[in-house]
Amino acid sequence: MDKADTKIEKKEGGTSTEHINIKVVGEDKQDRNEVFFKIKQSTPLKKLMDAYCERQGKSPDSVRFLYDGERVQPTDTPQKLEMEDGDAIDVMIEQLGGL
The count of other CB atoms within 10 Å of the CB of residue 99 is 2
pLDDT at 1: 44
As a whole number of Å, the CA-based R_g of the chain is 14
Query: What average pLDDT does range 8-20 have in this prediction?
Result: 57
| Alpha-carbon gap, residue 5 to 38, rounded angstroms | 8
Burial class (CB in 10 A: 0-12, 13-18, 19+), 44: middle
Q: Which fold has domain 17-66?
A: Ubiquitin-like (UB roll) (3.10.20)
| Alpha-carbon gap, residue 22 to 85, rounded angstroms | 7
Domain residue ranges of the chain, discontinuous segments joined by +: 17-66
Position 78 pLDDT exceeds 90: yes
pLDDT at 17: 58
Q: Would you say how long the chain is, in residues?
A: 99
Give tens-digit pLDDT for 35-61.
999 999 999 999 999 999 999 999 999
